[in-house]
């Protein structure tokens, strides 16, 4: 009797030890894997279960053994862009992932201006619907999720771009991906991870905020609302950590409005956030972002400080910033509707810097230096090799001040990539400000048509009173 009981127990234990292979949502049919790189495939199964994986692009058989914690991971090499392929996984069960493409993968993240889609009444997206179907553009949309600890899975599924799936996907992300797909002629995978209203702290690894007194104090100034989280790391843990094993080329980012409560630390916060993402992926991700647009914020200069901070953040390697002061249809709407040009400008940064393609001008002119000659301030710029132009007979949104710090509207003329600035009210210029206001939409551009980045030459304390 004891013999039979022992056998029965052994059978039960053996059966209990068997467990089907399970996968995170991001590893699935229809996915796009990063080309010509080492990519991770991972999931869960029974402890010590041997798993065999065959990739159809080279018919190579690889294997791994699940850990005692029921986790497994295996790395495979991907070829140049192409597909569709299959990936077969065999353990106690068999999973076949089909319609897998090899190409370029990007994360699209931020707050509402990245989240905006067809449902927001965007005419550019509506115009795309009849012709947008493209099996070489794939979407993965992560539902809004928070967590106190880093998660290893998230919701979502890979789908082809078509007139139905596009409606709920980021418009900026789509136009960015469309431009890459057309220019590179490779499949594009876009992972949508955004949440309207969120400050950048929630997208940053929590210890990086909580262990920094300056960032922690700035985060504590956030005002609670019912529509988005404020806890540092909440969406990083719930929406970024789960995909950090998934190899990507880089990320695009449209956010900043949610940090106007404490604007002076935004450059430090953004570069810290980028650093935590790069640490999570263990690579120097390309990271391109959008400068916040003109809008009637309640506090004078508040968004100008954010834009100034965003400009400073470009000192971090492998980053780039798109200026959008010319893409606003209504300064009383914090959500400009032109997402087509925003996406294309981001794509040009990626094409030029990540993929080393010739795209023409993609960097907005940036303030370089100021020299004073008599009663004139002479401003020079980077990124304006062919000179500047004004889209009207006179240059708008430019001001000059003397040592008394009183600014007056200035007259400016263009000499190639230099700006000659003066005012009858200022005999001895000390400082110049251009486009430095919450709602400023200046008319100065590079000859190639990109708006000059707003700037100030001074570091004086700013008036933070109500407008």
Q: What is the pLDDT of residues 166-177, one digit of tens each?
A: 999 999 999 999
- Please enumerate in sequence order all residues whose Cβ is within 8 A of that of 83, keeping only pairs 6 or more positions apart, or say none: 57, 99, 100, 101, 102, 103, 187
What tens digit of pLDDT does each residue of 89-104 get? 999 999 999 999 999 9
Q: Which structure tokens are listed for 37?
A: 């790189």
Q: Which of 208-217, 297-306, 342-351 has the lowest mean pLDDT?
A: 297-306
What is residue 288's DSSP assignment? Answer: E
Q: Which fold has domain 102-354?
A: Rossmann fold (3.40.50)
For the chain, give every domain's residue range.
20-100, 102-354, 366-456
Side-chain-side CA neighbours of 7 within 13 Å: the count stands at: 4
Model pLDDT for residues 437-465, shown as the tens digit of each residue: 999 999 999 999 999 999 999 999 987 66
20-100: CATH number: 2.60.40.2550
User: Are the CB atoms for 437 and 305 separated by under 8 Å?
Assistant: no
**pLDDT digits 0-9 by tens, 387-430:** 999 998 899 999 999 999 999 999 999 998 899 999 999 999 99
Closest among 438, 465, 430, 467 to 454, alpha carbons compared = 438
**Closest by alpha carbon to 63, among 24, 37, 90?**
90
Q: Exposure of 136 by Cβ count < 10 A (0-12 exposed, 13-18 middle, 19+ buried)?
A: buried
Is residue 259 scored above 60 in pLDDT?
A: yes
Confidence check: pLDDT of 304 > 90: yes
Number of alpha carbons in the 13 Å side-chain half-sphere of residue 172: 32
Q: How many Cβ atoms are within 10 Å of 403's Cβ, its own excluded?
A: 10
Do 20-100 and 102-354 come out as alike in CATH topology? Answer: no
| Long-range pairs of 120-124 with CB within 8 A, sequence gap ≥ 24 | 120/171, 120/335, 120/337, 121/337, 122/171, 122/337, 122/339, 123/337, 124/171, 124/175, 124/337, 124/338, 124/339, 124/340
Mean pLDDT of all residues belonging to the chain: 95
pTM, entire model: 0.95
């Amino acid at each position: 009797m004891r013999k039979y009981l022992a056998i029965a127990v052994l059978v039960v234990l053996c059966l209990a030890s068997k467990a089907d292979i399970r996968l995170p949502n991001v590893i699935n049919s229809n996915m796009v894997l990063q080309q010509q790189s080492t990519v991770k495939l991972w999931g869960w199964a029974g402890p010590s279960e041997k798993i065999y994986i065959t990739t159809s692009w080279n018919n190579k058989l690889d294997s791994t053994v699940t850990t005692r914690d029921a986790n497994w991971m295996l790395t495979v090499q991907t070829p140049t862009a192409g597909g569709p392929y299959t990936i077969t996984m065999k353990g106690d069960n068999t999973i076949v992932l089909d319609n897998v493409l090899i190409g370029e993968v990007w994360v699209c993240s931020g707050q509402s201006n990245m989240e905006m889609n067809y449902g927001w009444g965007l005419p550019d997206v509506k115009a795309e619907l009849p012709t947008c179907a493209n099996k070489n553009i794939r979407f993965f949309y992560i539902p809004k999720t928070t967590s106190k600890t880093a998660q290893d899975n998230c919701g979502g599924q890979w789908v082809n771009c078509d007139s139905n799936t596009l409606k709920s996907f980021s418009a900026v992300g789509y136009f960015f991906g469309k431009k890459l797909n057309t220019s590179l002629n490779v499949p594009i995978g876009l992972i949508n991870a955004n949440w309207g209203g969120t400050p950048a702290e929630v997208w940053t690894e929590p210890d990086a905020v909580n262990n920094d007194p300056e960032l922690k104090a700035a985060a504590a100034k956030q005002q609670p609302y019912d529509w988005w989280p404020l806890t540092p790391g909440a969406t990083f843990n719930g929406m970024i950590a789960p995909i950090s094993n998934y190899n990507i080329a880089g990320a695009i980012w449209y956010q900043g409005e949610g940090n106007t409560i404490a604007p002076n630390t935004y450059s430090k916060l953004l570069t810290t956030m980028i650093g935590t993402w790069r640490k999570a992926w263990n690579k120097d991700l390309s990271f391109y972002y959008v400068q916040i647009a003109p809008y009637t914020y309640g506090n004078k200069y508040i968004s100008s400080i954010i834009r100034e901070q965003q400009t400073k953040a470009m000192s971090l390697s492998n980053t780039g910033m798109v200026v959008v002061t010319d893409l606003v249809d209504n300064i009383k709407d914090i959500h400009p509707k032109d997402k087509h040009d925003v996406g294309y400008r981001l794509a040009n940064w990626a094409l030029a810097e990540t993929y080393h393609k010739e795209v023409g001008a993609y960097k907005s002119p940036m303030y370089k230096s100021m020299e004073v000659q008599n009663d004139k301030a002479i401003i020079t710029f980077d990124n304006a090799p062919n000179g500047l132009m004004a889209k009207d007979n006179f240059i708008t949104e430019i001001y000059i001040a003397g040592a008394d710090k009183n600014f007056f509207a200035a007259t400016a003329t263009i000499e190639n990539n230099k700006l000659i600035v003066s005012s009858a009210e200022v005999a001895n210029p000390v400082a110049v400000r251009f486009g430095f206001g919450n709602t400023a939409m200046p008319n100065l551009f590079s000859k190639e048509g990109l708006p000059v980045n707003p700037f100030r030459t001074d570091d004086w304390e700013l008036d933070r009173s109500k407008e």
